[in-house]
Amino acid sequence: MTKVARPFPSLTPKQQEKAALASSNLQLATYAEATANKPTAISANFFRVTLQSDVGIRKYRIVLDQVNGRDITNRNTRRAMIEDILLLYPPTANIWVTDYYSLIVSVGKLYDSFGDADHESWSVLHQRTGPAGQPMLQMDSTIFYEGALQFSQLQNYVNNPAAAPINGYLPDEDLKILNILSWKHILDRAAPLGRVRTVGKKFYPEWNPDATLSLDPRNAREVVYNVRNGFFSSMRPGAGSLLLNVNSTSTAFYPAMNLQTWINRREGRPSGPFNPCFLPSGPVRRELRNIKVTFEGTPGRVWTVNGISNQTVSNQNFTLRGTYNTTAVFTYMTTQGEQPYESHCRATSD
């Protein structure tokens, strides 16, 4: 790694909106006492977190290099690249965790050679796979130091909720740091706490394969969804201490299976040879849009279903990254190293 002088990335519109609302989130949750004829046991999903000492928790941001002038937004691609970077440059901090999208939190410096000046940046040279048949792409990504958790201000904030924040202190960024740190054993690939799958801000322990959902009660084996019970967690300020809030959630996931077989099951149609002229119903077409699929010839490449059409792939155009693409599906996928099958009523992908 080499220390460089690069501009810190500007806030996205969504980040600007959150920053504008940060000053409105200072009021801590309170409670009211009530009299009752007899004691009542109450179960809560809040866990008390105590701030004992300042151990120098720091936050860093990974900004991946662009490819052909475009930012990398696909989460799977970003995760794979960040994993490669951290394997190529193992952090020297004993405790660190990343969200595998943009942020890294560590106890102490992430690397011994790093400094402590806000927005210092370091160049990270690495490679990523190019399109099929092309050589590896040379990447020059950046790690920025965003700053340390403001321990004393956060401690004062939760211990003295009525007092004015020190120097206009806003706790949102520190709570974000603690949120990521609380997922240390969920996100850590090297020493995970069991097998856990994460989706956004939710995490799902390895589920029972019998926890499935069929739309046909007469045939429970015709699985249409896998139901997983998981959790959502968030670090929140409370009067006198921080609170780790943990809520349960249940989500239906698509099973790993042939897409046409799944459509037949979802529509209640008997399984059989592929019918190229059968279009799913409107609700099912909407449900299929944006799901992730792979092709048998290139199982490592993940595609997104863009729509369902009765046009051939040689004639069907599609929308790519929000812009209508005049290139036919067949031509586009061929340039991406795929060999699409020429047929009617195929799912278009980007």
Q: Give tens-digit pLDDT for 66-89.
A: 887 888 888 888 888 999 999 999
Measured CA to CA, the distance from residue 198 to residue 205 in angstroms comes to 9
Q: What percent of the chain has pLDDT over 90?
A: 17
The answer to whether residues 169 and 157 touch, using CB atoms and an 8 Å cutoff, is yes
pLDDT at res. 323: 66
Quick one: pLDDT band at residue 345, thresholds 50, 70, 90? very low
The answer to whether residues 64 and 84 touch, using CB atoms and an 8 Å cutoff, is no
Q: Give tens-digit pLDDT for 234-269.
A: 888 877 788 888 888 888 888 888 888 888 888 877
pLDDT at res. 346: 44
Q: Give tens-digit pLDDT for 276-285.
A: 556 778 888 8
Looking at the DSSP bridge assignments, the partners of residue 58 are 106, 148
Average pLDDT for 109-130: 90
**Considering the chain, what is the average pLDDT of its residues?**
78
Q: What percent of the chain has pLDDT over 70?
A: 73
H helices present in 38-183, as ranges: 75-88, 151-159, 172-182
Average pLDDT for 223-230: 83
Torsion of CA 115, 121, 126, 132, to 10 degrees: 150
Measured CA to CA, the distance from residue 57 to residue 109 in angstroms comes to 8
> Would the pLDDT of 110 be above 80?
yes
Q: Which helix (H) or strand (E) holds 284?
A: helix 282-288
pLDDT greater at residue 254 or residue 120: 120
Strands 103-107 and 96-98: antiparallel
Q: Give tens-digit pLDDT for 9-54.
A: 887 777 777 777 666 666 555 545 556 566 666 566 888 888 888 8
Quick one: pLDDT band at residue 140, thresholds 50, 70, 90? very high
